[in-house]
Amino acid sequence: MADLRGALGHEHVADHVRPLAVRRSRHLGDGQAGVQRILAGPAQTHAVHGHARKHANDHRAFHAHSGVRAERLHSAVAARRREPLRLPRATEPADFSRHRQPQQLPATVHHHRNVSPVHAGQRACAQGLIQRLASGPSIRGMLKPESLTERQALQVEPMPRVLLRLTLSCLLLIAVALLLVYQLTWRPPAHELLTASCSTAVQAPKLVPGQALKVMTWNIQYLAGKRYVFWYDMADGSGPDERPTPEDLAYNLDEVARVIRDEQPDIVLLQGVDDGAKNSDYQDQQKLLQERLADLYPCSTQAFYWKAEFVPSPHIWGSVGRKLTTLSRFHIDSAERLQLPMPDANIISRQFQPKNALLVSYLPLRDGGKLAVINTHLATAKPGDGTAHEQIAATENLLDKLEGGGTPWLIGGDFNLLPLGQYQRLPEQQRHGYAADSELHALWEKYPMIPNNTESSGTDRSQWLTHFPNDSRINGPDRTVDYLFYSPSLKRVSARVRRDDTLLISDHLPVIGRFLLPVLP
């Protein structure tokens, strides 16, 4: 300091060293503010360094005209400015309490005759900064854990509240999904009374005890024909086709009507009749058939066994509607739908599955009594699934009840079950879904059926095969799954499977039987 005074003169040293003290105080103040800005973020830290560089530039500009003395003073001051600013480490408590009171600067600093307006502004800025630090919160206070906790509490929502909102949102979505499933699907009652439809244009006669009765059962496969391998025709669901063309639907409608008109059975039991299904162009196929057969069958009954406004399957992706249809030349008094047991599935998928049923139509006899005619389509069997056993048991219970009450009956349909001995004759890859010991034995052991086991497994068994699967590996009918069972009080007159001109209409062939009704005592 003595050398500095000798080189520059006492007066100039006083004029420049005192401002240096002020600037050092400003450094400390800037250091305190810098800590705050470091806590706030990188952007304000850059602002602190920019402010320091601005002051250095102003100082060099002020002394550029002072000659050697100004250069030496500038070098001394610049050396002090280049001293590193020591900020408190993270492990050291930051305490700037000694700077909380503004320092009183000597009058010579404030009123020196050679001080420029730039230096005066710098001093005023330093004083204001120190006053703000003294009146504001200390850095120690800002580093208190409770202050950070309070700030975080304002910015971050408590975790329990987030979990509560997430749970409520999930519950709402589940409720909406269940409501949507409820609206789109069909839930029939276990027992439903139906109304028989009889035309007033043609008077339907009543049955006469002892008369002959011709009955035909036929799964018409929703008029799709035999030019396809549908996705469900393969055990692994790999069939390439999803729907028939409109041209095939129209052609097979005419073919089914042709066969029925040619046979002219008294009662026709049809399965696989579509109504409102997307994949069959939303046709009401029963109505289309009745328009072509109105002169033959004035009475009819119907019952859905698969129905939904929308099925979320990539093969369907739309509505389904499939039903049992019974057409009768004779009067029908009443009808009922009896729900059969369904395959096991979760509560959601069960709503979209077929709901197999028994359609029971009651035809009055002229001298009293009635004949019960039953139409059905049982579920496709699955390995290890007890559905076939349960559905056969439910059917057996109904037949036992009718037989025990003295009501003559007959039942026909697609049972999806093999007769005795056919399982062993099928190729290994075609046995999927069938049992070696057919569940159908519960019925054939009690009641007569068409075709019987001798016919379906004997030397002429090819004449009694009723199913021609949609499989490129199969070139003709190879199994029997469609039957007529009847009460022992009825007498079988004749029976056959019509196959010569029906092989390309459906994957099932019509089974036809003639009976004599019992004579009342």
Q: 65-113 pLDDT, tens per residue?
A: 455 455 565 565 555 555 554 545 544 444 544 444 445 444 444 444 4
Residue 140 has pLDDT above 70, yes or no: no
The pLDDT of 366-384, averaged and rounded, is: 91
Residue 492 has pLDDT above 50, yes or no: yes
Of 130-134, 197-201, 296-300, 417-421, which range is least confident?
130-134
**Confidence at residue 409, expressed as pLDDT on a 0 to 100 scale:** 99
Domain-located, residue 417: yes
Domain-located, residue 424: yes
Give 365-383 as a DSSP string: BTTS-EEEEEEEEPPPP-T
439 and 388 housed in the same domain: yes
Percent of the chain with pLDDT over 90: 57
The pLDDT of 380-409, averaged and rounded, is: 93
**Confidence at residue 385, expressed as pLDDT on a 0 to 100 scale:** 81
Domain-located, residue 167: yes
The pLDDT of 403-420, averaged and rounded, is: 98
pLDDT-derived band of residue 128, with 50, 70 and 90 as boundaries? low
Domain-located, residue 521: no
Joined together, the tokens standing for residue 322 give 């499939």
Q: Is 116 within 8 Å of 66 (Cβ atoms)? A: no
Q: Is 423 within 8 Å of 479 (Cβ atoms)? A: no
299 and 408 housed in the same domain: yes
Q: Which of 138-152, 224-238, 276-290, 383-397 has the highest mean pLDDT?
A: 276-290
Residue 353 has pLDDT above 50, yes or no: yes
**Confidence at residue 84, expressed as pLDDT on a 0 to 100 scale:** 53
How many Å apart are CA 323 and CA 300, to the nearest integer?
13
12-31 tens-digit pLDDT: 444 444 444 444 444 444 44
Of 7-11, 82-86, 172-176, 212-216, which range is least confident?
7-11
The pLDDT of 226-234, averaged and rounded, is: 92
178 and 92 housed in the same domain: no
Q: Which helix (H) or strand (E) holds 57?
A: helix 42-62
**Confidence at residue 425, expressed as pLDDT on a 0 to 100 scale:** 94
How many Å apart are CA 40 and CA 27, to the nearest integer?
19
Domain-located, residue 149: yes
Of 129-133, 384-388, 411-415, which range is least confident?
129-133
Domain-located, residue 196: yes
**Confidence at residue 24, expressed as pLDDT on a 0 to 100 scale:** 46
Among 108, 138, 155, which residue terminates a domain?
155
What Å distances lie between residue 498 and 163, 419, 474, 504, CA to CA? Answer: 67, 19, 19, 12
147 and 169 housed in the same domain: no
Count each helix (H run) and each strand (E run) in the chain, helices first. Answer: 15, 14
The pLDDT of 455-477, averaged and rounded, is: 95
Joined together, the tokens standing for residue 337 give 């739908």
Top-confidence residue, 366 or 110? 366
How many Å apart are CA 310 and CA 186, to the nearest integer?
10
335 and 203 housed in the same domain: yes
**Confidence at residue 237, expressed as pLDDT on a 0 to 100 scale:** 85
Q: What are phi and psi of 398, to 5 degrees?
A: -65, -45
165 and 57 housed in the same domain: no
120 and 249 housed in the same domain: no
123 and 164 housed in the same domain: no
Domain-located, residue 335: yes
217 and 331 housed in the same domain: yes
Of 71-80, 306-315, 446-455, which range is least confident?
71-80
**Confidence at residue 453, expressed as pLDDT on a 0 to 100 scale:** 97
198 and 212 housed in the same domain: yes
Residue 48 has pLDDT above 90, yes or no: no
Top-confidence residue, 496 or 153? 496
pLDDT-derived band of residue 364, with 50, 70 and 90 as boundaries? very high
Residue 44 has pLDDT above 50, yes or no: no
**Confidence at residue 90, expressed as pLDDT on a 0 to 100 scale:** 46
Residue 462 has pLDDT above 60, yes or no: yes
**Confidence at residue 74, expressed as pLDDT on a 0 to 100 scale:** 55
**Confidence at residue 174, expressed as pLDDT on a 0 to 100 scale:** 87
Q: Mean pLDDT over all residues of the chain?
A: 81
pLDDT-derived band of residue 159, with 50, 70 and 90 as boundaries? confident
Joined together, the tokens standing for residue 50 give 């920019």
Top-confidence residue, 104 or 480? 480
- Domain CATH for 319: 3.60.10.10
Top-confidence residue, 141 or 263? 263
**Confidence at residue 25, expressed as pLDDT on a 0 to 100 scale:** 46
241 and 147 housed in the same domain: no
Unique residue bearing structure tokens 């600093």: 109
Residue 252 has pLDDT above 90, yes or no: yes
Q: Measuring CA to CA, which residue among 123, 16, 33, 151 is closest to residue 85?
A: 33
Top-confidence residue, 125 or 298? 298
Top-confidence residue, 502 or 109? 502
130 and 275 housed in the same domain: no
How many Å apart are CA 112 and CA 218, to the nearest integer?
120
How many Å apart are CA 256 and CA 23, to the nearest integer?
108
Of 191-200, 214-223, 240-249, 424-433, which range is least confident?
424-433
How many other β-carbons are positioned within 10 Å of the β-carbon of residue 488?
Answer: 11
pLDDT-derived band of residue 210, with 50, 70 and 90 as boundaries? very high
Domain that holds residue 430: 191-516
How many other β-carbons are positioned within 10 Å of the β-carbon of residue 167?
Answer: 10
**Confidence at residue 441, expressed as pLDDT on a 0 to 100 scale:** 97
Domain-located, residue 15: yes
**Confidence at residue 8, expressed as pLDDT on a 0 to 100 scale:** 42
Top-confidence residue, 133 or 268? 268
Residue 289 has pLDDT above 60, yes or no: yes
Among 107, 134, 155, which residue terminates a domain?
155
**Confidence at residue 119, expressed as pLDDT on a 0 to 100 scale:** 57
- Number of folded domains that form the chain: 3
pLDDT-derived band of residue 234, with 50, 70 and 90 as boundaries? confident
**Distance between alpha carbon 230 and the CA centroid of its chain, in Å?**
23
The pLDDT of 424-444, averaged and rounded, is: 93
Which residues, other chains included, contact 411 with Cβ-Cβ below 8 Å and sequence gap of 6+?
Answer: 358, 373, 374, 375, 376, 395, 399, 484, 485, 486
